Amino acid sequence: MIRFDNVAKRYATGHEGLSGVDLHLAPGEMAFITGHSGAGKSTLLKLIGLLERATRGQVWVNGRNLNKLSNRDVPYHRREVGMIFQDHRLLHDRTVFDNIALPLVVSGMGHAEVTRRVRAALDKVGLLKKEKVFPITLSGGEQQRVGIARALVSKPPVLLADEPTGNLDPDLSREIMELFMQFNQVGVTLLVATHDIDLVNRLGKRIISLRNGRIASDSGTDS
Amino acid sequence: MAKRTRQPGFKRNRNPVTWLLRHAQMSLSSLGRLSRSPLTTLMTATVIGIALALPSGLHLIVDNVRQLSSSWDGSASISLFLNQSVSDEQAEQVRATVAKRTDVAESRLISRSAALDEFRRLSGFGQAIELLDHNPLPPVVLVRPAATVQDADAVGRLAQELQAYREIDLAQVDLQWVERLGAITGTIERAVLILAALLAGAVLLIVGNTIRLEIQNRHSEIEIVKLVGGTDAFIRRPFLYEGLWYGLLGGAIALLLVLASLYLLDGPVERLAGLYESGFSLSVLDPLSLFGVLLGGPALGLTGAWLAVGRHLAEIQPE
Ligand SMILES: Nc1ncnc2c1ncn2[C@@H]1O[C@H](COP(=O)(O)OP(=O)(O)OP(=O)(O)O)[C@@H](O)[C@H]1O
Ligand SMILES: [Mg+2]
């Protein structure tokens, strides 16, 4: 589902965010990416969502070589990759419902289907009663769940999350992670970058550890 | 040989009905967005309206002046310079013949001696004339065309016919006033064209700048829409519609301004026309200006928005 072949990302500053990364994630697999600040976790996820392009090597997602996708194709690629961020990235002048509906609206889905899917996504993250409120009135954990609902509403085969629990207390963090485990059980491929090593150790999933832009250890290939 | 693998393509929505529906929704929501800040919208649209109204209003005035000058019979007269050999008696006969024509209203003979007197008085060459042993000036018949000979062309045709008379050497149309006016309106017409081009450029800049600010204001929204897979066309659309609406509103305001000015000018013009016993009245907006304002406005709005969007949308990328 996701494959990196000797991938490097050199930023315009000359700094290499990633160097020589080889990685393979099977369809339906779930993995955590850990590592110190500046290790390259966000860079790796950005390459998958085509927020950045690799400067060396090849990135494959969902059977496509991302190097060969033109800029015109990028939006269509992003519809197959749901992205979740630490800072939620919600639109504060739109209701929770409208925020979650956004990926469906941009793909031109009809109104009735949008409503049905948004309700289903709200149900999954436990926010059914909040569809008409504005995100600013929600707690941090609730806002994060709106962001998650938005990422999964279009049923993308791949979900990426960059420190989704960064600002949350341990209980909320565990809840969010359990939500991800549920998605993974229905076949979604998940890649989650996080600092929360204690939590991920307990979840028993594959852990990829980065150091200075290189893979330092990978429990998926170690064993 | 390298193995060639084809990339699996993306599904793209190409249903024309949903496409149309989305455009309709988008145009309405753009209008809704504009109506949520009515004062700003109105001010921008009014600036556009004034810029559009100026050239079309001026064009209208020039058009009317031209019509006025072509229907002006009071100033046209024809001077018939007779042959040198024609005596004053024969000249009187010529005058009488010309006066009988239906297309001549009035005629007056200036005999050779009268012409010489006038020349002496007006030219300042009196002394030089004394030196001549005979009068070098021909008799002249002044002709005022009948009211049926209305425009400059018809007067010219009459002069040509008169010049065919054996005794008449030269029939000179005295249309100076009308000709000058024609030259002036021609110049102003050209100036209006240049002004129109400049103001069209101004409208482009106004709309372009308004849309640029709008793009800046919605920076984070654009970023997020790109993040969830919105195409450039999808993101561009509301801004283009906004430009279109600005142009349409501006055009409508321009039309109102021109019509209001016509209404205000109508009274004085009628009084003026009455003084000159002319049946002239202001003509309403010609189809050219009407379409110029109603189609030119939206076209300029759309173009201005397009330029702004093309320049600034690509700069916004999610991180
Ligand atoms: N846009 C950029 N331009 C230049 N350098 C960048 C850019 N983005 C990231 N970097 C550099 O690349 C390296 C990896 O950054 P990245 O954001 O991937 O780290 P991270 O593992 O996500 O860190 P954190 O845990 O703090 O989020 C860092 O040294 C960073 O300074
Ligand atoms: Mg990071």
Of B7, B226, B232, the CB nearest to A64: B7
Query: In the numeric block, which tokens belong to residue B152?
Result: 């400059």
What's the gap in Å between A212 CA and the centre of ligand 1? 10
Check pocket membership of A86 for ligand 1, CB cut-off 6 A: no
Angle between helices A140-152 and A96-106 (to 10 degrees): 20
Look at A161-170, A202-211, B19-28, B101-110 and tell me which has the smallest mean pLDDT: B19-28
For chain B, residues classed under CATH 3.30.70.3040 are 77-174
Q: Encode chain A in three state secondary structure.
A: CEEEEEEEEECCCCCEEEEEEEEEECCCCEEEEEECCCCCHHHHHHHHCCCCCCCEEEEEECCEEHHHCCCCCHHHHHCCEEEEECCCCCCCCCCHHHHHHHHHHHCCCCHHHHHHHHHHHHHHCCCHHHCCCCHHHCCHHHHHHHHHHHHHCCCCCEEEEECCCCCCCHHHHHHHHHHHHHHHHCCCEEEEECCCHHHHHHHCCEEEEEECCEEEEEHHHHC
Confidence of residue A61 (pLDDT cuts 50, 70, 90): very high
The closest alpha carbon to A175, from A135, A132, A124, belongs to: A124
Query: In the numeric block, which tokens belong to residue B236?
Result: 């561009």
Look at A68-82, A112-126, B177-191, B198-212 and tell me which has the smallest mean pLDDT: B177-191
What's the gap in Å between A38 CA and the centre of ligand 2? 7
Check pocket membership of A38 for ligand 1, CB cut-off 6 A: yes
Best of B227, B316, B319 to disrupt the A interface (most A CBs within 10 Å) is B227
A132 touches chain B (CB under 8 A): no
Contact of B112 with B88, CB cutoff 8 Å:
yes
**Inter-chain CB proximity B229 and A107 less than 8 Å:** yes
As a whole number of angstroms, the distance between CA A54 and CA A8 comes to: 6
pLDDT of B175: 67
Q: Report which protein residue has its CA nearest ligand 1's atom 22.
A: A42
As a whole number of angstroms, the distance between CA B46 and CA B252 comes to: 9
pLDDT at A55 over 90: yes
Angle between helices A111-124 and A96-106 (to 10 degrees): 130
- Residues in B closer than 8 angstroms to A72, CB to CB, are 231-232
DSSP classification of residue B3: P
Interface of A with B in 52-81 (CB under 8 A): 62-65, 68-69, 72-73, 75-79
As a whole number of angstroms, the distance between CA A144 and CA A126 comes to: 12
Q: Encode B247-259 in three state secondary structure.
A: HHHHHHHHHHHHH
Among positive and negative, which fits the CA dihedral A159, A164, A170, A172? Answer: negative
pLDDT of B279: 60
Among positive and negative, which fits the CA dihedral B176, B182, B185, B187? Answer: negative
Mean pLDDT of A53-66: 94
**ipTM reported for the complex surpasses 0.95:** no
Contact of B300 with B203, CB cutoff 8 Å:
yes
Domain assignments of chain A as residue spans, ordered by start: 1-80+157-223, 90-155
Check pocket membership of A43 for ligand 1, CB cut-off 6 A: yes
B8 touches chain A (CB under 8 A): yes
Which amino acid would we find at residue B256?
A: L
As a whole number of angstroms, the distance between CA B211 and CA A52 comes to: 28
As a whole number of angstroms, the distance between CA B315 and CA B226 comes to: 12
Which CATH code is given to the segment(s) B77-174? 3.30.70.3040
- Residues in A closer than 8 angstroms to B8, CB to CB, are 62-64
**Inter-chain CB proximity A76 and B234 less than 8 Å:** no
- Residues in A closer than 8 angstroms to B11, CB to CB, are 76
The closest alpha carbon to B301, from B246, B237, B253, B239, belongs to: B246
Q: Report which protein residue has its CA nearest ligand 1's atom 5.
A: A11
CA angle, corner B211, sides to B208 and B217, nearest 5? 145
Over residues B276-306, the pLDDT tens digits come to 656 666 666 677 778 878 888 999 999 999 9
Q: Share the mean pLDDT of chain B.
A: 83
B277, exposed or middle or buried, with CB in 10 Å at 0-12, 13-18, 19+?
exposed
* CA dist B301 → B38, B41, B205, B214, B244 (Å): 18, 13, 9, 14, 5
Over residues B82-139, the pLDDT tens digits come to 888 888 888 899 899 888 988 888 888 888 888 888 777 777 676 777 777 778 788 8
pLDDT of B69: 66
pLDDT of B236: 92
pLDDT of A48: 96
- Scored b (16 or more CB within 10 A) or e, A180-209 reads beebbeeebbbbbbbebeebbeebebbbbb
Over residues B38-51, the pLDDT tens digits come to 898 999 999 999 99
pLDDT at A223 over 50: no
Q: At a CB cut-off of 8 Å and minimum separation 6, what does B155 contact? A: B76, B78, B145, B149, B173, B175
Pick the CATH number of A1-80+157-223 from 3.90.1150.10, 3.40.47.10, 3.40.630.10, 3.40.50.300: 3.40.50.300
Query: In the numeric block, which tokens belong to residue B36?
Result: 């949520």
